[in-house]
Chain A
Amino acid sequence: DTGVSQNPRHKITKRGQNVTFRCDPISEHNRLYWYRQTLGQGPEFLTYFQNEAQLEKSRLLSDRFSAERPKGSFSTLEIQRTEQGDSAMYLCASSSQGFVEAFFGQGTRLTVV
């Protein structure tokens, strides 16, 4: 297993368009997290799955954001009607259940023009 994989690595989109990102976690990990990082800040939590169940969502996750993990494996994060403020690095992480180490993917850098 090569670790957490995210696609695409970079995405440039026009304001108002929809975008979708994909995350493939480490295969034996049942927990999957999405974070967002803006310039000069640490990553901020967006949402968290345990298997296919989305257990928690941050207030940062507006109605324009939706995340899925349909079979408890890969996950997608969709942003509808993108705004310039959505420009950020979107990071995915996975971990085993319990208080253990989390591993991050390479991230998807979104630029909304």
Chain B
Amino acid sequence: GIQVEQSPPDLILQEGANSTLRCNFSDSVNNLQWFHQNPWGQLINLFYIPSGTKQNGRLSATTVATERYSLLYISSSQTTDSGVYFCAVEWRYGNNRLAFGKGNQVVVIP
């Protein structure tokens, strides 16, 4: 199978600060997604980004597939950004499933 590692596991930010979350994966992937899990447990889609760079408001993401990592940038953080961020990948060589990392727990304090 494929291994997914996210860092840092926990992050405390002052409101307005910027941050970078990292996702490393151990093999080639066809699909990579970033999610934000809200306090009620639902996974909210942030980016579908198997390669390249995308931006959506204060969030942006970059995946360098050849080097097996992805980065999620949060700029001008707000308290509503608090929660757990998950990276999930679909392994290129089978499985037809997403494999998740353990997540980045982010707390934004006012």
A residues lining the B interface (CB < 8 Å): 31, 33, 35, 37, 40-45, 48, 55-56, 89, 91, 93, 99-107, 109
Q: In the complex, A95→B48 CA distance in Å?
A: 12
B residues lining the A interface (CB < 8 Å): 4, 30-31, 33, 35, 40-43, 45, 48, 50, 86, 88, 90, 95-103
CB distance from A101 to the nearest CB of B (A): 4
Residues of B within 8 A of A99 (CB): 30-31, 50, 90
Q: In the complex, A93→B4 CA distance in Å?
A: 19
Q: Pick the residue among B31, B41, B98, B101 that contacts A106 (CB under 8 A).
A: B41
Residues of A within 8 A of B90 (CB): 99
Q: Pick the residue among B96, B100, B103 that contacts A48 (CB under 8 A).
A: B96
Using CB atoms, name the residue of chain B closest to A58: B97
Q: Pick the residue among A40, A56, A101, A105 that contacts B96 (CB under 8 A).
A: A56
Q: Secondary structure of the A side of the interface?
A: strand
Q: A42-B86, A99-B30, A101-B33 in contact; A91/B100 too (CB < 8 A)?
A: no
Using CB atoms, name the residue of chain B closest to A105: B42
16 A-B pairs with CB atoms under 8 Å apart are: A31-B96, A37-B41, A42-B86, A42-B88, A42-B100, A42-B101, A43-B100, A45-B97, A48-B96, A55-B96, A56-B96, A99-B50, A100-B48, A104-B45, A107-B41, A109-B41
Contact B97 A106, beta carbon cutoff 8 Å: no
Contact B42 A106, beta carbon cutoff 8 Å: yes
Q: In the complex, A53→B39 CA distance in Å?
A: 33
Contact B41 A41, beta carbon cutoff 8 Å: no
Contact A102 B101, beta carbon cutoff 8 Å: no
Using CB atoms, name the residue of chain A closest to B103: A42
Q: In the complex, A99→B92 CA distance in Å?
A: 9
Q: In the complex, A101→B35 CA distance in Å?
A: 11
Q: Which of A55, A89, A99, A109 is the most central at the interface, judged by chain B CB atoms within 10 Å of its CB?
A: A99
Residues of B within 8 A of A102 (CB): 31, 33, 98
Contact B42 A45, beta carbon cutoff 8 Å: no
